A and B are shown apart, each in its own frame.
Chain A
């Protein structure tokens, strides 16, 4: 099974790699608050390819903003993304352990949040990529469950449609089954991305590029 899962999950690295939210969005006319300044600085560091410094800033904001799920979400996301390529089990365990703590913190603030469910699924995926034989069976079932739950919570969120469709498509391809239904979902996601508005500044926005890329690679 190892290879099926590795295959499935390599696709994910790409999607997560694009997860960095666009920082150029400036909405407020008034002087930026400390929160806005902090978040912008973090995204800027991230774009400058200093993910760990960005994570440190997000972590600081998280302590100052105990009721906002976004800072811990991004701390976790940076740790998850950087675990996909990590081969040292000690480091990997430490990073994913930290990511898990921050997902737990964020979940305590925002329950049944589909973006957090997808991030949790990506965390499991990082374990599967690292050692499919050991973690594949349990964690792939858990990830599947999370994608289904995320989509059920936000059936018209293009990112949830994309995440689940991509995960399912990997499995279908491997077993030589038709990927037609998932291509339809991808098309639907692309249509919805065109009008998608994040709930506010700094909310996750990734996914559109990835959806178009999958469509170009697999559905034409």
Chain B
């Protein structure tokens, strides 16, 4: 009968049922500063209030027993406490800053990222394609950033005194083995991949994560778009060819296949032929078959539950034949090239339970290059693959751990044929690697990244260990300081490996000090670095061959200062940036007799890029100026090696994008508008003339200027999208 006793009591004292408890206290941040406007409430009830200007709160509740009190305020971590309501009095609640917020320090040493997701973007996604000198090549846009050197006749990325092979490119975390179309001297190459399939680009000029290996100087990380926005068709008609792109989306065919959360496919094809252009504007080469390339790319994405599968494939075929001037051959040097390249990459990522994220991916590359140099025919076939498995555990916003393993496989074969000589060369280069890395955020002011990577080379029977550390400290509201150290290893190039396997990996150490200030659409960065090279490959002939003596006796250093300033605020409708790099480097490698500054490194590099939007003309005008101080060359008429320097390099490029309507754009561009005469180096005669003097020939670009006209048309259901972001 106890129940009825209780019932009786309740009837007499109804207030027992409506017992109003008071919840009260104060909310402050970790420094004791009151937080006003915080939302304080009992979860699942309607009872709660907002804290006042002194951080105080007090509210009545009819809830009894054990409840959850929640305190939340924007950009702080929510606070929860489980207790008996009657004890929730005079509480002192301290909210911790949410370290996911923008004010948190980021590790910025060495890297530039472009994308909506990055906290501080030195480059914006549009820049990749609206930079006047870049002509739609993302590598061209990156060459306006500090840390790169101007090697205009090559087209690849040369970073901080490293040669082009020291930069590796990754798509969705998976390595690209042959990122550039092969070419010959003085015909600049372009990146193979079209910029509009990517929505995130990170360019690191040093000190990068332990996840990436086999790169001595730099990594370029490209991420394909996870989910295209809409179905559309893109048509491009250009003075040098044409292109066609199409994107199709499928929604989830629910509810039958509940795993299928939708998919999409993007296709892109282009054809470039320089024959008409060269017929109108002949250049310094004698073209037999002007450059011609056809390429196709496809990205398929499938959402599977909480996972995303992406498959990317690219095929291209290119060919050309020409005779280039040569000081040792009055009839010139004949060169022809025919290349087929296929790359495919598949990756799968999924959020698992307990804050684990899984990533698995692989790529396969097939490259087939046929080169004819005078009488010699060289046929290279490369088959390469890369597999990677990575797990990420988020213990809290303040501690995250990455663990992964990967395998690289390369099978390279070459057939060399001359009328009186033939040879078969080749090698297998397999590398296994494992890495782990921790991200620790101590507070909004202090963050640390600690990583280690181990690699085993089957070819060299060698194991290497690379520690990586970076650290960032916020010095003020808008400024921060970062430090980074890392060890980096890379196998020698195919050109060497095809003759020998009796070598070791080449090695660098990076030391980086970075200062960054960012506020109100203005960014300033200054970075000091020192790079120490060791174990560089040397050989004793002009060109490596089967009889050369190879060793790891080379070494060198690179040090300097990179400055970057971007301002989108001070001048109305104008966005501009300025990059300056100072580089001091010497190395002994390849066949260098002494330590010297290689001919791809120049001391001073300056880039100025500006974009001006003219409202009345519906036009964007782009301007880009590139300066590189002189590069070294060996003057055979004087004693020494790489002892002289060319004159500096100058080029001004202009472009104009005109919006005819929302979906039609007319585009003009001109590179080196003022036709500066640039000399990239000199070729000396092999033998002196009668007077004992070695004659020389200037190495000039094939053409001083380049003109481009294009018409771009997008057809989409909503009639809004256009290709401005592709230009």
Contact = CB atoms under 8 A, between A and B. Distances in A.
Given A56-B48, A145-B230, A133 B662 contact: no
A3 B98 CA distance: 34
Given A60-B41, A94-B101, A98-B74, A144 B46 contact: no
A95 B74 contact: yes
Interface string B615-639: 1001010000000000000000000
B521 A131 contact: yes
Interface string A123-143: 000000001011101101110
B354 interface: no
Nearest to A134: B124
Given A38-B46, A90-B101, 19 more contacts: A1-B613, A53-B50, A59-B39, A60-B47, A63-B44, A64-B46, A89-B102, A93-B101, A94-B75, A94-B98, A133-B575, A134-B124, A134-B125, A134-B126, A138-B125, A144-B718, A147-B718, A148-B718, A175-B662
Q: Pick from B44, B49, B102 the residue with the most CB of A within 10 Å.
A: B102
A90 B74 CA distance: 11
Contact of A175 (B48, B661, B725): B661
Interface in B23-68: 37, 39, 41, 43-50
Interface in B87-140: 98, 101-103, 116, 121, 124-126
Contacts of B615: 3
B70 A63 contact: yes
Interface size class, chain A? 35 or more
A177 interface: yes
A52 B37 CA distance: 7
A204 interface: no
25 contacts: A1-B620, A1-B724, A2-B573, A34-B46, A37-B46, A52-B37, A52-B50, A60-B46, A63-B41, A89-B102, A91-B75, A94-B75, A95-B74, A98-B74, A133-B126, A134-B116, A134-B121, A134-B126, A135-B116, A138-B116, A138-B229, A144-B720, A148-B717, A174-B618, A175-B662
Nearest to B38: A56
Contacts of A1: 613, 620, 724
Nearest to A33: B46
Interface residues of B, number: 45
A57 B40 CA distance: 10
Contacts of B116: 134-135, 138
A1 B614 CA distance: 10
Given A2-B613, A60-B39, A175-B662, A133 B102 contact: no
Interface of A: 1-3, 34-35, 37-38, 52-53, 56-57, 59-61, 63-64, 89-91, 93-95, 98, 131, 133-135, 137-138, 140-142, 144-145, 147-148, 168, 171, 174-175, 177
Contacts of A175: 618, 659, 661-662
A140 B72 contact: no
Contacts of A94: 74-75, 98, 101-102
Contacts of A37: 46
Given A3-B613, A137-B125, A61 B46 contact: yes
Given A134-B121, A175-B659, A3 B46 contact: no
B146 to A, nearest CB: 21
Interface of B: 37, 39, 41, 43-50, 70, 72, 74-75, 98, 101-103, 116, 121, 124-126, 199, 229-230, 521, 568, 573, 575, 613, 615, 618, 620, 659, 661-662, 717-721, 724-725
B411 to A, nearest CB: 40
B397 to A, nearest CB: 13
Contacts of B45: 60, 64
Contacts of B573: 2-3
B261 to A, nearest CB: 12
Nearest to A131: B521
B569 to A, nearest CB: 11
Contacts of B659: 175
Nearest to A139: B116
A63 B39 CA distance: 12
| 8 interchain residue pairs of minimum CB distance | A56-B39, A144-B718, A94-B75, A144-B720, A90-B102, A60-B41, A141-B229, A94-B74
Contacts of B50: 52-53, 56
Contacts of B121: 134
A140 B103 CA distance: 27
Contact of A141 (B98, B125, B721): B721
Nearest to B231: A145
A144 B662 contact: no
Contacts of B75: 90-91, 94
A175 B719 CA distance: 12
Q: Pick from B74, B126, B618, B719 the residue with the most CB of A within 10 Å.
A: B74
Given A133-B575, A138-B125, A145-B229, A56 B720 contact: no
Contacts of A53: 37, 50
Contacts of A34: 46
A3 B611 CA distance: 14
A219 to B, nearest CB: 20
B98 to A, nearest CB: 8
A57 B41 CA distance: 9
B6 to A, nearest CB: 25
A53 B40 CA distance: 11
Contacts of B41: 56, 59-60, 63
Given A38-B46, A94-B74, A137-B126, A144 B721 contact: yes
Contacts of B575: 133
A38 B49 CA distance: 12
Contacts of A140: 720
A79 B266 CA distance: 35
A52 B53 CA distance: 13
Contacts of A98: 74
Nearest to B51: A56
A95 B75 CA distance: 8
Q: Pick from B70, B521, B720 the residue with the most CB of A within 10 Å.
A: B720
Nearest to A1: B724
Contacts of B98: 94
A142 B230 CA distance: 8
A34 B62 CA distance: 12
Contacts of B70: 63
B568 A133 contact: yes
B201 to A, nearest CB: 14
Contacts of A64: 44-46
B661 A142 contact: no
Q: Pick from A37, A57, A94, A135 the residue with the most CB of B within 10 Å.
A: A94
A71 to B, nearest CB: 11
Contacts of A147: 718
Q: Pick from A1, A59, A95, A148 the residue with the most CB of B within 10 Å.
A: A1
B298 to A, nearest CB: 21
A213 B259 CA distance: 46
A95 B37 CA distance: 14
A106 to B, nearest CB: 17
A173 to B, nearest CB: 11
Given A60-B46, A133-B575, A145 B718 contact: yes
Nearest to A164: B718
